[in-house]
Amino acid sequence: MKNKNVPIGVFDSGVGGLTVVREIMEQLPGEAILYFGDTARVPYGNKSEETVVRYSSQIIKFLLSKGAKTIVIACNTASAVALEKMKKEFEVPIIGVVEPGAKAAAKVTRNGRIGVIGTEATIRSGIYNEFLQKTNPHVTVYGKACPLFVPLAEEGWVEEDEITEQVARRYLAELSEQDIDTLVLGCTHYPLLRSVIQKVVGDKVQLVNPAVETARELKYLLEERRLLNECEKAGETYAVAGGTLLPQHEFFVSDRAEKFKQFAASILPSAILRPESVGVEKFE
């Protein structure tokens, strides 16, 4: 049986998965996070299923080699195309962000008309539609890929930005015409554009961030498997409190750790960010 004081492994194609980490830290402050951002191979959203599956498998092997007790696939694209295969390949509990996001949206909608925005791969997979229909067969789902949102978020053009707003208007016009009352932010970067997206779709549309529900499901999963860390707060560095070694957050990337740190500091407190570069290709 796994030691419950070891970290939770979380990964994404890059920095966007930190929006999920932020939620996990909020809801599970005693858990240490072991994060991997695949900054050398981002974006996943325009890659084939086969490639994303291979990358996901390498990363999970890396996270397990560092002692992770459970895995959160914080990337919507990898959750959409690789989660089921990863669950078959590894014994450790693994959750993605799509199912929790779909469940949250199905709860929120009043008129049953739900929009989903994400990368090309996520929208093409039709997986949000599948989970939404499973939760409530009466909903109608409208998907739209918004690939330019990722570089805009990484550029920091997030709040009150004219260009981002124009791009959002162009992408979201057809969803608005469908009278949706709920919109799933089905990509890790999109919560960073939340205020622009909300402005464009209007206040009557409820935005759903799958990260919130994912952190909640992670908590249930850890409780159920008796893997919840009893520590009150994970440490920012290895430290001993009351004779116990506090777990520590650790961040790894596959390229450009400094650039990652700069962007990451807009999502998490910079004091905890000391990213290291590692290659994961050897974990075949």
Token pair for 25: 């830290």
Q: State yes or no: residue 12 binds ligand DGL (CB under 6 A).
A: yes
* Known active-site residue 187: yes
Interface stretch with ligand DGL, choices 18-26, 37-45, 58-66, 164-172 (CB under 6 A): 37-45
For residue 36, give the 3-state DSSP assignment: strand
Out of 8, 187, 264, 272, the residue judged to bind ligand DGL by CB under 6 A: 187
DSSP output for 98-111: HHHHHHHHHHH-SS
Q: State yes or no: residue 6 binds ligand DGL (CB under 6 A).
A: no
Burial string for 200-230 (b: 16+ CB within 10 Å, else e) reads bbeeebbbbbbbbbbbbbbeebbeeeebbbe
- Least Å distance, CB 10 to ligand DGL, is 12
Token pair for 159: 């709040």
Residue type, 269: P
Residue type, 120: E
For residue 148, give the 3-state DSSP assignment: coil
Of residues 210-269, those binding ligand DGL (CB under 6 A): none
Interface stretch with ligand DGL, choices 88-96, 115-123, 214-222, 224-232 (CB under 6 A): 115-123
- Least Å distance, CB 66 to ligand DGL, is 21
Q: State yes or no: residue 39 binds ligand DGL (CB under 6 A).
A: no
Annotated catalytic residue within 75, 183, 234, 273: 75
Of residues 147-176, those binding ligand DGL (CB under 6 A): 150
Out of 5, 125, 182, 188, the residue judged to bind ligand DGL by CB under 6 A: 188
Token pair for 182: 């709920």
* Known active-site residue 75: yes
* Residue pair 81/124 in contact by the 8 Å Cβ criterion: no
What is the Cα–Cα distance from 269 to 53, expressed in whole angstroms? 31
List of residues contacting ligand DGL (CB under 6 A)? 12-13, 16, 42-45, 75-77, 118-119, 122, 150, 187-189
**Catalytically active residues, by annotation:** 75, 187
